[in-house]
Structure 1
Amino acid sequence: MSEKNISCMKKINEAIRLNQFDDLSNLEEVWVFGYGSLIWRPVFRYSEKIVGKIRGFHRRFYQSDMTYRGTPEFPARVATLLKDPTAEAETYGCAFKLSGKNEISAGIKYLHTREVEKAGYSVTVEEFHSCESPPIPALVYTATTENYYFTGKQSMEELSDIIANASGLAGPNTEYLFRLAEWQREFLPLVEDDHLYELTRMTKEKISKIESEN
């Protein structure tokens, strides 16, 4: 990582530590890592988008959602990131560059409301790696075990059954899962993701079974 990006990472870490996210708008740019619906549905303005990965995390569907893809009566399942004890795991997605005070301020405000205030995610800064640039610091939103909506480990059978049936304000839970899997297959065809692809396969089987019974 360049000296410029090391300095930027330190400033971001300090803003996170002090819970002073408004200070981020004073930076020249801020990158945000998306690994769920942000990949295919970013609803904030950004200046650049790069495909790549962060290291040391597994993506898992262990976060419940009672608003966008589910309801309080039938919570959906969406993605979060779990630390890999071996630090060998990799999670692929996109990094979005927010440039200038207005773009950074608006983007961070939106993400903080959506991910932190409504969903209880925590914020860290991690190194984002891609073929297009040296490592860059990127904000990452993850749900930890302290999060009220964090479900903990569930079997593929349980997850696929929930996702096949849940729906919320933004649409069915299946759209969230399938579009994520489709994106990764299109842009990263050589990358294997056993959790994502097996969950997709089993959820499609559940849907076929539901349709055949109706």
Structure 2
Amino acid sequence: MKKINEAIRFNRFDDLSNLEEVWVFGYGSLIWRPVFRHSEKIVGKINGFHRRFYQSDMTYRGTPEYPARVATLLKDPTGKAETYGCAFKLFGKNEISAGIKYLNTREGENGGYSLIVEEFHSCERSPIPVLVYTATRENYYFTGKQPLEELSDIIANASGLTGPNTEYLFRVAEWQREFLPLVEDDHLYELTRMTKEKVVKIEK
């Protein structure tokens, strides 16, 4: 973990491709649509974070005129929160280099996310260090806390280059229901319910 932390801290991303393997954590659209090459995928969680739809998106699911809302992670001061998703294994120089380059462009340059390193926990193996793209409160796209009523209105109406904002939200909720049926997530599931109601009204 020390080598990964140092590479990120000093923006030496080429150093990551010299490692045998690097793991990346996905908690939004990556869990159902990982568009980079990877050698392995594991379902699990990181601790100490809440997933919240407090990040605006003006490219993939929205526009500059009507920004969408996508997921980011907020640090839980109690440390008790859990966010579930997938860890993707990038193996070998070519896979690591291509994956990190793609994600840095998509999540960093275009999305306002920053890289951190956290421990990923699963039933399949011991904890492993993962790269996590998360948006700080200081980034341009961070919206801050918004009522679910307001968020559901935005998501029901936003759309961008890769499709409607509703697809992003609904697919995340569907994935978690399928793979983690015993895990409750009030923010995700209540937002999904309210957004579906808004969509029905729009379609009428």
Q: How big is the shift at 1:120?
A: 1.4
**Correspondence for 2:2 among 10, 19, 40:** 10
Q: How big is the shift at 1:118?
A: 1.1
Q: TM-score, normalised by structure 2?
A: 0.99
Q: How big is the shift at 1:56?
A: 0.2
Q: TM-score, normalised by structure 1?
A: 0.95
Secondary structure, counterpart of 2:181 in structure 1: coil
- What is the identity, as a one-letter code, of the residue corresponding to 2:125? S
How far apart, CA to CA, are the structure 1 residues paired with 2:188 and 2:49?
Answer: 14
1:200 is aligned to: 192
Structure 2 stretches of 5 or more lacking a match?
none
Matched, 1:144 2:121: no
Matched, 1:112 2:104: yes
**Correspondence for 1:98 among 90, 103, 106:** 90
Secondary structure, counterpart of 1:96 in structure 2: strand
Q: How does 1:1-214 map to 2 (within 5 A)?
A: 9-212=1-204
How far apart, CA to CA, are the structure 2 residues paired with 1:15 and 1:136?
Answer: 17
- What is the identity, as a one-letter code, of the residue corresponding to 1:199? L
Q: How big is the shift at 1:106?
A: 0.3
RMSD (Å), alpha carbons:
0.5
Q: How big is the shift at 1:22?
A: 1.1
Is the deviation greater in 90-99 or in 116-125? 116-125
How far apart, CA to CA, are the structure 2 residues paired with 1:22 and 1:152?
Answer: 33
In percent, how many aligned pairs have the same letter?
A: 88
Q: Deviations over 1:32-57 (max 9, x none)?
A: 00000000111100000000000000
* Runs of 4+, deviation exceeding 2 Å: none
Secondary structure, counterpart of 2:17 in structure 1: helix
Q: How big is the shift at 1:81?
A: 0.1
Secondary structure, counterpart of 2:130 in structure 1: strand
Q: How big is the shift at 1:211?
A: 1.8
1:6 is aligned to: none
Is the deviation greater in 60-69 or in 114-123? 114-123
Query: Would you say how many aligned residue pairs link Structure 1 and Structure 2?
Result: 204
How far apart, CA to CA, are the structure 2 residues paired with 1:71 and 1:18?
Answer: 32
